[in-house]
Amino acid sequence: MIVAFIDAYKLVFGVEPICRVLRDHNLPIAPSTYYARKSRPPSARSLSDERLLPVVKAVHRDNFDVYGTRKMWHALRRKGEVVGRDQVARLMRSAGLRGVTRRKRQRRAPSLPPEVRAPDLVRRSWFRDAGSAPPLVDT
C-alpha cells in the first residue's frame, strides 16, 4: 500500500522526500526498501495468497458467511486445496472475514414481584448506614 502511494507521487516529489515525510508520520520506509520491493519478484507466499484469496471468499460466501477458520480450513481441504489452517486464518483476517459466534446464555432466574416474595421476618434495613447493625429481634 505504501509502495503504491510512493508510485503515485514519485514523479511530483521524488522517492526520498516522500520516504522522509512518511517516516515523520510514523510510517517508516527506507528508499532502499522501496526500490528492493519494485525490483524483486513476488514471493511464493504472495503468489499463493493471490490465488487462494478469491477461493476463500467464495467458500465463505457459499456457506452463508458463518464459517470460522477451522470449518473454512476443512471446507477448502474438501475442495482439494492444499492450505494450512494458519494460512486460512491469515487470509480471512486480511479479507475481513469472520465466522459467526454464538451468544452466551443468561443463566439467571427472573426476580419475583414483591407480592410473591417471602416476607422479611428479620426486618433487615437495606438502606441503613454501613456502621450500624439492624435489630435482630423485635423488642
**Cβ proximity of 29 and 23 under 8 Å:** yes
Cβ atoms < 10 Å from Cβ of 24: 9
Q: What is the pTM of this model?
A: 0.60
Alpha helices by DSSP H, listed for the chain, are 2-13, 15-24, 31-39, 44-62, 69-78, 85-95
- pLDDT tens, the chain, 139 aa long: 789 999 999 999 999 999 999 999 999 999 999 999 999 999 999 999 999 999 999 999 999 999 999 999 999 999 999 999 999 999 999 999 999 988 888 788 777 787 777 777 887 776 666 555 555 655 5
Spatial CA neighbour of 55 closest among 86, 101, 95: 95
Please report, to the nearest 10 degrees, the dihedral formed by the alpha carbons of residues 10, 13, 16, 20 taken in order. -120
Domain boundaries, given as residue ranges, for the chain? 1-40, 42-100
Spatial CA neighbour of 69 closest among 49, 43, 92, 102: 92
